[in-house]
Amino acid sequence: MSEQLQSDFEKLVKTSKFSNEEIQFKKNFLNNFIEKGFPNRKQEDWKFLDISQIIKKSISDLSFFNDYSQSNKIDPSIFIDGLEHNKIIFINGRIEKIDFNFEDQKKIEIIDEAKNDISFDNENSLIDLNSAFTDKVFKILIKKNYTLKKPLIIYHSTNDKIKSTNINLRLDFDLGENSCLKLIDYFGNSTAKNFINIFYNFNLEKDSILKNYKIDKFRNNNLRYSFNNIEQGHNSVSETFILSAGSDYFKNEINCNLNGEYSSAFINGIFSLKENQQHEIRTTINHLVENTKSHQLIKSVLGKNSKSAYQGRIFVNSKAQKTDGYQLSKAILLDETSEFNAKPELEIYADDVKCSHGSASGSLDENSIFYLMSRGLNYQQSKELLINGFLMDVVEKITDLEIKNLIINIFGLKQ
Amino acid sequence: MDTREKDIEKLKDYKYGFTTDIENIKAPKGLKEDVIKFISNIKKEPQWMLDFRLKAFERLKLLKEPNWQKPKYPKINYQDLYYYSAPKSMKDKPKSLDELDPKLLETYKKLGIPLQEQARLNGIAVDAVFDSVSVATTFKGELTKHGIIFCSMSEAIQKHPDLVKKYLGTVIPVTDHFFATLNSAVFTDGSFVYIPEGVKCPMELSTYFRINASETGQFERTLIIADKGSYVSYLEGCTAPMRDENQLHAANVELIALDDAEIKYSTVQNWYPGDENGKGGIYNFVTKRGLCKGKNSKISWTQVETGSAITWKYPSCILKGDNSIGEFYSIAITNNHQKADTGTKMIHLGKNTKSKIISKGISAGFSDMTYRGLVDINSKAKNSSNYTQCDSLLMGNKCGAHTVPYIKNKNFDSNIAHEATTSKISEEQLHYCQQRGLNPEEAVGLIVNGFCKEVLQQLPMEFAVEAQKLVGISLEGSVG
C-alpha cells in the first residue's frame, strides 16, 4: 500500500497548486500515515469495527489520488426543497461552491489555505491521511454577535466519475462570541464504493451556539468516517444529532473539550440499520473545568446482519467539580443476526460530580405488541409503531423546530 | 483520648503486618526449567503434572506481559523471585494438628484463625496456606463422612490424580494469558475441593492464604468441582507481612459446576496494601474463572477487596449449561495509593442463562479504581439476560473512579441492562447523621456500609462481620 500512497501523492502534487512549504507539510502527514496504516482492532478505539478489514473486504483497489484541478457539474436535484438555506457543495472530494446568500457578507469570513495545523494531540492515523491528501482547507469565521439567519447545509456527493477512491474533506469553523450556527451535513446516495474521510474542527467562543446535524439516510455503498473536534469556551453550547442509516459503514467520532465554565454538550444519535451495515458512534467528552454539563442519548434499531457500536467516554478532570454527565444507549435487535456492542466509559477524578450511564439492549417487548394487536393493529403495524416511538424520543431532543421537522420528513417518522 | 480514638489508632496500622521467624526451604531464585523441576520434584509429583508445568512454561516463553490495564507498575523481574518457599518443618508433613510447628500455629492465631480451636468450635473447615504450601486442613473426619474431598492441591495430585487430571486446566487452559500461564508453570499449592453427586456440603469450607517470606511470589491454585446436584460455599482470606518491596501474588482459581450444582465463592482480600506513601504492598494479579458446565448450575462470586497495592482481577463465569446462572457481587475499596482494576466477565453460551453483576467501588486518598467488565451474549444463548449495576463513591478530589463496561449482545432474544453512577456522599446525608449525634467518621462509616449492603448481604455470616469491620478500617483517615 505504501508504494501506491507515494505514487498517488506524487500525482496529487503534480495536478494541484500547492506551495513547496505546503507539500512538505503534507508529506509529514503522509509519512505518519504510512507508518501507522489504517486503524485495526488491536487499537482499543477500533475494537468493535475494524476499518482496515472492512476497507480490504469491500474496496479491493483503493486509490488515494483525486484530481482537484477539474471542477464537477453541480446537479441541483440533490438540494433539499422547502427549506431556505446556505450551501457548501462538496463533490468528488472537491468543494465546488460556498454560498452564503442569505447572510450579511460582512459577518462571515472565508479563509482558505492548504496548511492548517491540528490543535490537539493526534494519534488517529485517519487524520494523518486526511491532512496529507485533502485539497484546500477552508476556515469559516462567524463574527461576534452574529446569528446566521438560515441553516448551512453541506452536501456530500459523488458522481459516477469516481470509484474506489479515498476522498478527504476538512473544514474549520470559528464561532465568535455570542454567535450561532446551524449546520447540516447531508450525505447523498451515490452508489459507487468510496472511502470518505471527513474532519471538522469547531472553535466555540464565549456564549456561542453550535447546532450540528448529520443526516445519512439514503442507502449507499460508501464507507464514511467523520471526526469532529469541538473546543468550547465559557457558556457555549454544542448540540450534535446523528442520523446514521444510509452508508455501508459509517463511524462518527465526536471529541468535545469543555474548556470554559458553564459550557455544555449534547449528543443524540440514531442507528437504523439493515443488510450488512456496520455503524459506530464514538464520543469523548472532556470535562476540564467546573460547572460543565454533557448529555448523550443513542438509540439503535438493528435489522438483519447489521451491527452497531457505541463507545462513549466521559472524562472528568480533578478540577472539574460540579460536573453533570449522562449517557444512555438503547438498542432493539430485530433479527437473530443483528449485533449491538457498547462501551460506555466513565473516567472520573473529581468527587463533587453527578455522572451516570445506562445501556440496555434486547428485542421488542412482546407485551406491548400484544397490547397494540388487541386494539386492532396487525403485527407489522404494532412493530412499526413501537419502533417509531422508540426513535421519536431521540428526534424530540432536536432543539431547532424547522430542522426537526425536516428530519422527521426525511426519516419518515410519524408524530 | 477516648477509647474509640485509641481503637482507631490501633487499627490504622495494618495489624497483619508481622512476620513469622521460621526456617524456610526455598527453590533457587529465577524462572527456569530447573526451578519448575525442583518444585515438581520436592512435591513428588507424577510425570503428567511435570509435563503440564513444562507445557505451560514453553507457552509462557512466547507470551508478553499484558499492559492494557489502568494501574501501571514498575516492571517485575521474574528472574529475581523465589518461586517456592516452605516452612522447613513441613518437609515431613505432620499427620495431625498437634504435630504442627507451634510458631505456625501462633501465626494463624494472630491472624484470627486458631486452627486447633477451630477444629473444635465453630464448624468451618479451614485449609491454611503459608507461602507456598498448605500447612493444615481441619475437619477432615466430618467431611470424609460425606465423601467430600477437601485437601491441599499437592495431596490431591497424589491421592486423587484422576479428578485433578480430568479437570485441572479445563477452565483456565495453560495457553491462557501471561499470569495464568505463569501460575500453571510454577504453582505450588492451594486447595482442592470435590463435592460428590447430590451432597450439600454441611459446613463452609475456607482457605487462609499468607505470604510470609520476602522476595517470594505466591502462586496457588485452587480447583473446586461440584458434581451433579451438589452445593458448596467456599471462603478465602488473605494477609501478608509489611515489607517495603512489592510482592507478586498470581493465583489461579477454577470452579466447575455440573448439572444442578451450585458453588458460592467468597473472598475477603486483605493483602498488605503498602504504606501511606504507596511503598510496598502486594500485586494481586489473580485469575478466577468458573464454568457452569451443566444444566441449571450456578456460580456466585462475592468479593471484598480492601488490600493489595494493585488489584487486577476479573472473576468470571462461563455460562455454558442451559439455564445456568452467574452472579458477581463486589466491594472494592482503595485508599492512600492503592490501585484496583477489577470487575467480571459473564460469557453467555447456553440458552436461558442469567447473570447479575453488582459492583460497588469506593476510592479515597490518592487511589485509583476501575471497574472493567464484559457481558457477552452469544448468538446461541437464546432468551438470556444480564443485569449490571456498578456504583462508585469518591472521597476527595485526588482519587479517581472509572467504569469501563464492554457490552456485546449478539442475540435478539436476550436483554442486557447496565447502569452506573458515580457520586460522593451528599452533604445532606452527612448532615442528617451528624444531627443525630454521630461524628463525621461514624457518619461516613454508616453511609458506606449502607452503600455496600447489597454485597455484604451475600457473604456468609462469619465473613460478613469481618468484612463490615474491614470496610470501616480501610477508610480510616479519609474523611476531613
Pairwise CB contact (< 8 Å): A353 & B408: no
Contacts of A16 (CB under 8 A, 6+ apart): A68, A69, A135
3-state secondary structure of B282: strand
Q: pLDDT of chain B along its 480 residues, tens only? A: 455 555 445 445 566 666 666 666 777 777 888 888 888 888 888 899 999 999 999 988 888 888 888 888 888 888 887 787 776 655 444 455 555 556 656 665 665 555 554 444 444 556 666 655 555 566 677 788 888 888 888 888 988 999 999 999 899 988 888 999 999 988 887 888 999 999 998 877 877 776 666 666 778 889 999 999 999 988 887 666 666 667 788 889 999 999 999 999 988 887 778 777 778 788 888 999 999 999 999 999 998 888 888 888 899 999 999 999 999 999 888 888 888 999 999 999 999 999 999 999 988 888 889 999 999 999 889 899 999 998 888 888 888 899 999 999 998 888 899 988 888 888 888 899 999 998 888 888 888 888 888 888 888 776 777 777 777 777 766 654
**Chain B interface, best mutation among A46, A302, A351, by max B CB count within 10 A:** A351
- A99/chain B closest Cα distance in angstroms: 44
β-strand A354-362 against B415-423: which pairing, if any? antiparallel
CB A161 within 8 A of CB A66: no
β-strand B252-257 against B298-305: which pairing, if any? unpaired
Q: How far apart are CA A103 and CA B390, in angstroms?
A: 50
Of the candidates B68, B418, B423, the beta carbon closest to that of A359 is on B418
CB A272 within 8 A of CB A391: yes
Residue A370's pLDDT is 93
- Distance in angstroms between the alpha carbons of the first and the last residue of chain A: 50
As given in the structure block, the three cell numbers for residue A318 are 480533578
Phi, psi for B24 (deg, rounded to 5) = -115, 150
> Is B353 exposed, middle or buried, given 0-12, 13-18 or 19+ CB atoms closer than 10 A?
buried
- B479/chain A closest Cα distance in angstroms: 13
Q: What is the helix, strand, coil percentage profile of chain B, to 5?
A: 25, 35, 40
Contacts of B423 in chain A (CB under 8 A): 353-355
- A276/chain B closest Cα distance in angstroms: 14
Residue B257's pLDDT is 94
Residue B115's pLDDT is 53
Residue A227's pLDDT is 94
β-strand A166-175 against B354-364: which pairing, if any? unpaired
Residue B478's pLDDT is 62
The residue of chain A nearest to residue B409, with distances taken between CA atoms, is A340
Nearest 5°: the CA angle B332, B356, B456 is 40
Pairwise CB contact (< 8 Å): A339 & B398: no
Residue A5's pLDDT is 85
pTM: 0.85
Pairwise CB contact (< 8 Å): B412 & A356: no
Pairwise CB contact (< 8 Å): A353 & B68: no
Of the candidates B379, B395, B422, the beta carbon closest to that of A336 is on B379
Pairwise CB contact (< 8 Å): A358 & B415: no
Of the candidates A345, A356, A359, the beta carbon closest to that of B404 is on A345
- Going by the DSSP 8-state scheme, the letter that residue A237 receives in this structure is E
Task: Inform me whether the C-beta atom of residue B426 falls under 8 Å from chain A C-beta atoms.
Answer: no
**Chain B interface, best mutation among A323, A359, A363, A366, by max B CB count within 10 A:** A359
Weakly modelled stretches of chain A, pLDDT under 50: none
The residue of chain A nearest to residue B69, with distances taken between CA atoms, is A44
Contacts of A357 in chain B (CB under 8 A): 403, 418-420
**Chain A interface, best mutation among B368, B402, B413, by max A CB count within 10 A:** B402
> Is B250 exposed, middle or buried, given 0-12, 13-18 or 19+ CB atoms closer than 10 A?
buried
Contacts of B414 in chain A (CB under 8 A): 362-363
pLDDT tens track for A115-139? 667 777 778 889 888 888 888 888 8
Chain A residues whose C-beta is within 8 A of a chain B C-beta are 44, 318, 321, 331, 333-363
Pairwise CB contact (< 8 Å): A339 & B410: yes
Residues 70-109, chain B: which have Cβ within 8 Å of A? none
CB B261 within 8 A of CB B229: yes
In whole angstroms, how large is the CA radius of gyration of chain A?
21
Pairwise CB contact (< 8 Å): B407 & A359: yes
Tell me whether 0.95 is exceeded by the ipTM: no
Could you write out the DSSP letters of every residue in B58-104? HHHHH------SSS--PPP-GGGSBS-EEEGGGSS--SSGGGS-HHH
3-state secondary structure of B145: helix
Of the candidates B397, B406, B416, the beta carbon closest to that of A349 is on B397
The residue of chain A nearest to residue B402, with distances taken between CA atoms, is A347
- A341/chain B closest Cα distance in angstroms: 4
The residue of chain A nearest to residue B368, with distances taken between CA atoms, is A349
Element (H, E) at A403: helix A401-411
Contacts of A328 in chain B (CB under 8 A): none
